[in-house]
Structure 1
Amino acid sequence: MNYRHAFHAGNFADCMKHALLVSLLGHFLRKPSPFMVLDTHAGLGRYDLTCEEAEKTQEWKDGIGLLNEEGPDSPLAPWLELVKKAGGPRYYPGSPLLTSLMLRPQDELICCEKHPDDKRKLYGQFTRTPNVFVHERDGYEALRALLPPKTAKRGLVLIDPPFEEPGEFSRLLEAVHTIRARFPTGMIAIWYPIKHRTPVRAFHMALQDAAIPDVLVAELLIRKPVDPDRLNGAGLVVIKPPYGFAEQASAQLNRLKTLLHAEEATVTQITAE
């Protein structure tokens, strides 16, 4: 499978992931000290929802296409304002562009994208942004090369793999161990798809068995996860979440559940054994 996110940009899973990402980054802005974000699977950065790929699946219509009328008091408002700033509703911003719009001069974003064509397009978006760096390299390999950050003691590692090859959850667990060894003060956010419960449950149990402390799990299910051939939901594991994030995430997911006609929205804690 040759994965390209243009087919899925702006779908319910993107909405869930990016709303929570903006909330996580907002906590860094509460202090003046610099922070670093490492985005291991960056993609294009911005997606034209009128392109051939997006028009073919039209997944965005059941995602960002349902969220244009939210008011300023909505828990989704900070993220939706950034979507608009990035060119929405026609253009949908991925995590690199959303993050870049929240950076201050002292902060830094490092993007990894191993597909040469996607990397070139991503690089072209940030040629005039001095604190955004784009690497053509495997995101997992980059963890050892780029951590710990040289310019900040605070930071977030965002891992958002395409799940196009078997064994992705095992690679994610190994990545967690690498990050915690090289950047113990860093926050980690890991996105994953939910098709059926078995592999997700095994991943959560592996985190628990590894005694990873302070793990929060946020999930949004569009439908019951009984068909392994469909994307039925999405989750975000956050390791070392900031104070107050659980309440923010719950409010955002419940709002998305209502607007996207979802089946279930949950925020839970994984307790280390």
Structure 2
Amino acid sequence: MFSYRHAFHAGNHADVLKHTVVLAVLRHMVQKDTALTVFDTHAGAGLYRLDGDYARTSAEAAEGFLKLVASAPLDTLTPVLRDYVDMVARFNATPGQWMVYPGSPFILQHLLRDRDKLKLCELHPTDSKTLAANIAQLDAGRQVAVLREDGFEALKKFLPPPSRRALVLCDPSYEVKNDYARVQTMVADAMQRFATGTYVVWYPIIPRPEAHDVPKKLKTLATKLGKPWLSATLTVKSSKLTQDSNGEEVRPGLPASGMFIINPPHTLKAALQVALPQLAKLLGQDQHASSTLEAAG
């Protein structure tokens, strides 16, 4: 259960998609004066070293964030991608030297106002401890709460929030097979408790029926409740098995991922319509690279 470590995957193409979307959503939501409560159900360690052992072992950032910044000058990126790169740059002291990658907790906290609250859940014992230590450096006081709890269950006690405004980010590792079903159950329960919140779910796109069911079932749920939704996907390579020089089958790793948003900001669709094709072009690893965007409501 505790074998997954996001440090191996920090800054990969899925992070680029996820954090671009999350940043665009929150940018819009903090424009309203009313206080906002933000939840991250699977927060991870919060900050990652791109020059550390984990990142160097997997080298996934090389095909994700590092490829993005190396492939195109900043002024040629679409506005939301430029904003995303600027955000990561704030965590690196030397321009152009990408040593640190911020996870969603630090991206979220960076945009919050004094009146907003951030609840971070992380069950992994090592990552939870690291997260707490990283957050302590912010001297954010009671604005940020780090909870070593199961995010799927912990969310229940916070909804609805006092301010009646909330953003929920759910991005489990899906290392455990029942995470797929738990995502759907959590969002359904949360929508019953607080139907006007904004719910952002990341999911992998892999050859497993459970993975394909996530956006389908969330779409059905949102439609049934009469809520607007948006679904964005990024594919960087084929999902088919290949063979190495010895004739052994090689799995492609994570070829694609998606973001499903219920009650998205009205500005998000237009922003992603131009950003997603650019991401597919810049991060694509073969001719199968592509992106999709669907929305309703």
TM-score, normalised relative to structure 1: 0.92
Percent identity, aligned pairs only, is 33
* TM superposition outliers: structure 1 runs of 4+ over 6 Å: none
Following TM superposition, by how much is the alpha carbon of 1:197 offset from its aligned partner in structure 2, in angstroms?
6.5
Q: 1:86 to 1:72 in 2, by over 3 A?
A: farther
Which segment drifts farther, 29-38 or 228-237? 228-237
* Secondary structure in 1 matching 2:177: coil
**Which of 249, 259, 278 is 1:236 aligned to?**
259
Which segment drifts farther, 201-210 or 130-139? 201-210
Superposed counterparts of 1:1-273, under 5 Å: 2-68=3-69, 69-71=73-75, 74-75=78-79, 76-87=81-92, 89-127=98-136, 128-130=139-141, 131-150=143-162, 152-196=163-207, 198-210=209-221, 211-212=224-225, 213-227=227-241, 230-261=253-284, 263-269=289-295
Q: Deviations over 1:211-262 (max 9, x none)?
A: 2432211000012334576311010000011112111122221221121126
Q: Deviations over 1:34-93 (max 9, x none)?
A: 111100000011100111111111110111112223228632111111101122611000
Segments of 5+ residues of structure 1 without an aligned counterpart are none
Output the CA distance in 2 between the equivalents of 1:238 and 1:209: 13
Output the CA distance in 1 between the equivalents of 2:294 and 2:208: 15
> How many residues are treated as equivalent by the alignment?
270
Q: Deviations over 1:128-147 (max 9, x none)?
A: 11211111101001111222
Structure of larger gyration radius = 2
Query: What is the Cα-based RMSD across aligned positions, in Å?
Result: 1.9
Contact 2:234 2:256 in 1 (8 A): yes
Output the CA distance in 2 between the equivalents of 1:95 and 1:106: 19
Segments of 5+ residues of structure 2 without an aligned counterpart are 242-250
TM-score, normalised relative to structure 2: 0.85
Output the CA distance in 2 between the equivalents of 1:16 and 1:208: 19
Q: Deviations over 1:122-181 (max 9, x none)?
A: 11222211211111101001111222223x221110000011111222111101111111
